[in-house]
Chains A and B, each alone.
Chain A
Amino acid sequence: MILDRTKQPVSGKPKDILFPDFYETKFDNGIKLFVISNPDFPLTSARFLFKTGSCHDVLTQKKLDGTASMTADLLTKGTKEKSAVEIAEIIDYHGAVISSGADYDASYLGINSLDRYFEKMFDLVCTMVLGSAFSDEEIERKKLQVINSLLSYRDDGGYLAESVFRKMLYGSSPYAADEEGTMKSVASIGREDITEYYKNFYVPSNLVIALVGNISAVKAEKLVFKKFGDLKAGKIPDIKFPELLDAKPSKVYLTEKKGAVQSNIHAGHTGINRNCLDFVAITVMNTILGGSFTSRINKNLREVNGYTYGARSSFNWKKYQGDFSVEVDVRNDITSDAVKEIIKELVDISVANVTHEELQTAQNYITGNFPMQLETPNAVASKLLNLELYGVDKDFYNKYISEINSLTLDDIRITAEKYLHPDSLTISVAGDTAENSKTMKQFGEIRVIHNIDEIE
């Protein structure tokens, strides 16, 4: 018998997803510890997160952009006992994977290793957290690297568009700079700047640790307490952010990208902080708007118009001030057509209800994909560390699914109306400025940026 393939099978009700169990404790000095035990794989990792990032660069004496990032990068580059080369030798020999770095709000150090080497690796990483050498030689090397990296980023139109967008939108905010700094600021960073940053911001009250994988909570707590239990809490200075205002009316920034055969568009406005109460509604609204392959923006620009390989919108939340943006790469001659369609989609979702089917699809899509985000114990750890960093309730994910499913069509429209501002856009385009100048006037006053140094 031949199967009737015209009939779509009905999908059963998905099993309930429970956020995996974890152990949580806080030491007297303020260090927060999470343990996510999972013996399924012979791996264990340690993750250190300091609630300090490049947004704190302005709180140092010289206020040099890139100080936080440089400090975090250098953690693994030599301690009092061991040189950078010796450390790399030990880590690599044991097959472990180590990484460190800083973004706007946080600084990280993490190691993932076979469980049988974990204690040894943990000991080593602790000596980095507790006091890197910050040797002049390693600092100079790292500076050269970062300066060259910053130079190479400019070859990428997407980076240029994002960079100009960020600078124009955030103005005097600490979030305006690249996390890694500018070529100029990085060149000025000295050892004293790094040690100052380390001393002031790498304090126990600001530290969150997660031990993850094939390790028990009891053992994890013992290991951590032994290394960090006796340290003094410390306190980091408060930071003040200037109030952010959107362009009104919209403004257009065209950045010259040599030999460009595409325009990289990055357009948007102010957004939200992670602890925003409407976070879940915004997530669902944005999934319909431009947060998934079947979203309106991608469907319009890619599947209907063939303008692009892919388009997306996102709320880039940060701790103090976030933003919203739509990103897309399109061929030169349809740049303004693409922007027109983007604006149309922002307006449409704010003035009329989405369909019942669209809402249902978004709800099912997010809840259906949620378990994939909890697949490895390290992914679970990332979620917990973020909740802690951004001051969100730990039961956020227990309520997540039901909150998503309780949203109505009106909720989506009201959320879009409140959080999307299609007539206050900062529109940044990297590409052929001569050609784009002709067509982009319709969206607002144009500023042409011939070289990104002009605005750094």
Chain B
Amino acid sequence: MMLEIKEKYLNNGLKIVMCKKQGMPVIIVNSAFHAGSKNDPPDKTGLSHFIEHLMFTGTANISGGDFDGILSANGGESNAFTANDYTSYYLTLPSSGLELGLWLDSDKFTGFTADEESLRIQKEVVLEEKLQVHDNSPYGTVEEESSKRLFPSNGYRWNIVGSAGHINSFTHEDVNKYYHEFYKPSNAILTIAGDIDYDVTEKLINKYYDDIPGRSGDGSGNGSGDVSGNGSGDVSGNGSGDTGGKKLLRNAGEKKRNNPDTHFIEAGEEVIFDNISLPARFIFYRIPESGSKEYYALKVLSSVLSAGESSRLQRRLIHDRNYANEIYSYVSGMELGSFLSISCFCNEDTATEEAGKEIDNIIDDILNGGLKDTEIEKAKNKIKTNYIIKLQSILQAADKLTYFGLIRGRASLVNEEIEKYDAINKSDILNTAKEYLKKNNRVVLNYLPAKVKEQ
């Protein structure tokens, strides 16, 4: 099961990925920029995400609100997301609308025309998004509470959506500065997938993207947005600033003075009261960056832990003990160091410590040699099926191509993903788990119903 892929660069540094895929007469135009919330200035958190919103309110040749109108009128649809490391825009169209899609997308490189009014309205929209996704949502503060403890000294420490105070303060100048730094061809990728003809598509891509000027500082290729800048200008930073690569934030516990409003305790556990009915325990282990061997080993381990009812955690916590209403784990894929998380939503009368003890016992058992070969095989089979199911969808396929091309350097890695998992053996998993699934390398959040506090 392979995707057919063509990759190339334009002279201005823009990376192009084309993927012809059997199926419906539809295309995806997906462009992404290697800058995400970690590139927000520390006093302007949420700026990356705000710019994602503004992109739809007017660029040089497509005036406010027309983007989606034109798209709908031609049978298309658009969406976008901002991640920690990158920002991605995609649109779907009937394949006869390829040129229109490229025209719409390429205008992102021409600059904003958003006026005061659009700025004001999009601030309100984003503030409502923040209320809906975080403030008014049960367990909605987990991202913020975990991030600031997991990554106290780099740009992963704030919410992608940002803080309300910062959002309200965004100016045209902030927006333009960020835009000029990051929205340039050499920091971007364009993926076209679906019912395409390579020659026609290439010609059209040249027509719409070739004359986009490259900008100074281009040519560094992957990650020109240079994230190390993140920690340096940051007042709350602590100086350790070692965020790159596999060296993790081992002395993270000493940042107390910079977090007066939280009660950070090294390797300790947090208790957070929320308007919830079921207590929950969220455990986060700091792990190496996405794409590393350790990352793949831990992905397999995460599947052993929680994929399917027979997995370790589901079996013990849900089935055998009746402790959990829901439990899952996942490995987040971030480029400056990532995390493996376990989320356990307990039944009403189960204490989070009790569930936590059970989870720790399972991890200890694995670390002490209890991991069986059949479990590894099972985990790999699960991953394989899910991966194939995902690639059935052209949108998901485009998303993966963009991710691999932009963050990992080569879109064709999408076809090597299964081999990466197959190459993981038991000792890889054990060695990695021993190194990273340690109590002094984790953040634990216990969410308790607010009514418990009142009693």
Could you list which residues of chain A lie within 8 angstroms of chain B, going by C-beta atoms? 1-3, 5-6, 8-15, 17, 40-43, 84-85, 88-89, 91-97, 112-114, 141, 144-145, 148-149, 151-152, 154-157, 258-262, 292-294, 299, 302-309, 329-331, 357, 360-362, 364-365, 367-369, 371-372, 374-376
* B378 lies within 8 A of A92 (CB): yes
B100 cross-chain contacts in A, Cβ below 8 A: 8-11
Asked whether B310 lies within 8 Å of A89 as measured between CB atoms, the reply is yes
Q: Once bound together, how far apart are the Cα atoms of A178 and B74, in whole Å?
A: 39
21 residue pairs A–B, Cβ–Cβ below 8 Å = A5-B106, A5-B107, A8-B100, A14-B97, A41-B392, A93-B381, A145-B347, A151-B278, A152-B278, A299-B65, A303-B65, A303-B121, A306-B121, A309-B132, A329-B132, A331-B127, A362-B72, A367-B75, A371-B24, A372-B26, A375-B23
Evaluate contact between A148 and B73: CB separation under 8 angstroms: no
CB atoms of B128 and A329 under 8 A apart = yes
Closest to B208 in A: A3
A397 to chain B, nearest CB (A): 13
Contact of A11 (CB < 8 Å), options: B26, B65, B97, B308: B97
> How many angstroms between the C-alpha atoms of A357 and B25 in the bound complex?
24
Bound: A152/B279 CA distance, A:
10
Is the pair B378, A95 in contact by a Cβ cutoff of 8 Å? yes
CB contacts (< 8 Å) of B77 on chain A: these are 292-293, 365, 368-369
B94 contact from A40, A149, A362, A371, Cβ within 8 A: A371
Asked whether A364 and B103 contact (CB < 8 A) given A42-B1, A93-B378, the answer is no
* Cβ of B244 under 8 Å from chain A: no
User: Considering the complex of A and B, which 6 residue pairs feature the smallest CB-CB distances, nearest first?
Assistant: A368-B75, A306-B124, A95-B381, A12-B96, A92-B308, A14-B94
Write the B315-355 contact mask toward A (1 if CB under 8 angstroms, else 0): 10011001001000000000000000000010110000000
Residues of A within 8 A of B383 (CB): 95
Whole-angstrom distance between the alpha carbons of A92 and B69 in the complex? 45
Q: Contact flags (1/0) for B381-411 with A, using CB distance below 8 Å?
A: 1111110110111110000000000000000
By a CB distance below 8 angstroms, the chain A residues around B347 are: 144-145, 148
Within 8 A of A (CB), among B71-86: 72-78
A411–B238 alpha-carbon span in the complex (Å): 66
Main secondary structure, interface of B, reads helix
Of B133-141, B185-193, B256-264, the segment with at least 4 beta carbons within 8 Å of chain A is: B133-141
Per-residue CB proximity of B42-78 to A under 8 Å, as 1/0? 0000000000000000001100010011101111111
Taking a contact as CB atoms under 8 Å apart, the answer to whether A88 and B92 are in contact is no
Residues in B neighbouring A43, C-beta threshold 8 A: 385, 388-389, 392
Q: Check B24 against A374 for contact (C-beta < 8 Å).
A: yes
A12 to B23, CA, bound (A): 19
Q: Find out whether the CB atom of B385 lies under 8 angstroms from the CB atom of A113.
A: yes
In the complex formed, the residue of A with least CB distance to B385 is A95
**Structural contact, B99 and A375, CB atoms closer than 8 A:** no
For B393, the chain A residues whose CB sits under 8 A away are 375-376
Within 8 Å by CB of B310, from A5, A85, A152, A258, lies A85
| Complex contact B73–A365 (CB within 8 A) | yes
Q: State the B residues within 8 Å of A (CB).
A: 1, 22-26, 60-61, 65, 68-70, 72-78, 92-97, 99-100, 103, 106-107, 110, 120-129, 131-133, 135-138, 207-208, 211, 275-278, 307-311, 315, 318-319, 322, 325, 345, 347-348, 374, 377-378, 380-386, 388-389, 391-395, 450
B170 to A: closest C-beta gap in Å: 14
B75 & A262 in contact (Cβ 8 Å cutoff): no
Contact between B96 and A92, CB atoms less than 8 A apart: no
Name the one of B74, B110, B277, B380 contacting A152, with C-beta atoms under 8 angstroms.
Answer: B277
Indicate which residue in B1, B69, B110 contacts A41 across the interface (CB closer than 8 Å): B1
Q: Which residues on the B side are within 8 Å of A302 (C-beta)?
A: 125
**Which of chain A's residues have a CB closer than 8 A to the CB of B311?**
92
Q: How far is the CB of B192 from chain A (nearest CB, A)?
A: 15
A42-B95 in contact (CB<8A)? no
Q: Is the CB of B138 within 8 A of A152?
A: yes
How far is the CB of A426 from the nearest CB of chain B, in Å?
22
- Decide if B138 touches A155 in the complex (CB within 8 Å): yes
Instruction: Write out the residue numbers on chain B whose beta carbons fall within 8 Å of the beta carbon of A368.
Output: 74-77, 93-94, 97
Question: Which of the residues A15, A154, A262 comes within 8 Å of B136, measured between beta carbons?
Answer: A262
How far in angstroms is the closest Cβ of chain A from B399? Answer: 14
Partner of B309, one of A12, A13, A92: A92
Cβ A8 vs Cβ B103 within 8 A = yes
Complex CA gap A307/B74 in Å reads: 28
Check if B389 sits within 8 Å of A88, measured CB to CB. no
Instruction: Contact check, B388 vs A259: say whether CB atoms are below 8 A apart.
Output: no
CB contacts (< 8 Å) of B23 on chain A: these are: 40, 375
Complex alpha-carbon distance, A382 and B278, angstroms: 34
In the complex, the answer to whether A17 meets B25 with C-beta atoms within 8 Å is yes
Q: Is the CB of A151 within 8 A of B277?
A: yes
Chain B residues with CB below 8 A from A95, complex form:
378, 380-386
On chain B, the residues within 8 Å of A112 by CB distance are 385, 389
For the complex, what is the distance from the CA of A13 to the CA of B96, rounded to whole Å? 6
Inside 8 A of A84's CB, which chain B residues have their CB? Answer: 309, 319
Return the contact of A364 from the options B75, B95, B106, B325 (Cβ within 8 A). Answer: B75
Hey, which chain B residues are within 8 Å of A12, CB to CB?
A: 96-97
Instruction: Tell me the bound Cα distance from A379 to B102 in angstroms.
Output: 28
Q: How far is the CA of A309 from the CA of B135 in the complex (A)?
A: 13
Residues in A neighbouring B72, C-beta threshold 8 A? 292-294, 361-362, 364-365
Q: Which residues of A contact B207 (CB under 8 A)?
A: 3
Which residues does chain B contribute within 8 Å of A367, judged by CB atoms?
75
Give the shortest distance, in Å, between A113 (CB) and chain B (any CB).
Answer: 7
With contacts A3-B207, A5-B103, A368-B75 taken as known, whether A93 is within 8 angstroms of B377 at the C-beta atoms is: yes
Set B26, B65, B136, B385: member contacting A114, Cβ < 8 A = B385
Which partner residue on chain A sits nearest B75 by CB separation? A368
Contact (Cβ within 8 A) B97 A360: no
Closest to B210 in A: A3
Supplied contacts A5-B107, A84-B319, A156-B138, 9 more A-B pairs, CB within 8 Å: A5-B110, A14-B94, A42-B388, A43-B392, A96-B385, A141-B319, A306-B123, A365-B76, A376-B393
Closest A residue to B123 using CB positions? A306
CB–CB B93/A11 < 8 A: yes
* Residue on B nearest A258 in the bound complex, by CB: B275
Note all chain B residues with C-beta closer than 8 A to A149: 325
User: What are the residues of chain B within 8 A of A3 when measuring CB–CB?
Assistant: 207-208, 211
* Chain A residue nearest in CB terms to B391: A41
Q: Smallest distance from the beta carbon of A93 to chain B beta carbons, Å?
A: 5
Output the least CB separation between A124 and chain B (Å). 13
Contact A259–B276 (Cβ < 8 Å): no
Neighbour of A371 across the interface among B25, B125, B127, B310, CB < 8 A = B25
Determine which residue in B22, B138, B211, B308 has the highest number of CB atoms from chain A within 10 A of its CB, and name it.
B308
> Which of B23, B25, B128, B385 has its CB near the most chain A CB atoms (within 10 A)?
B128
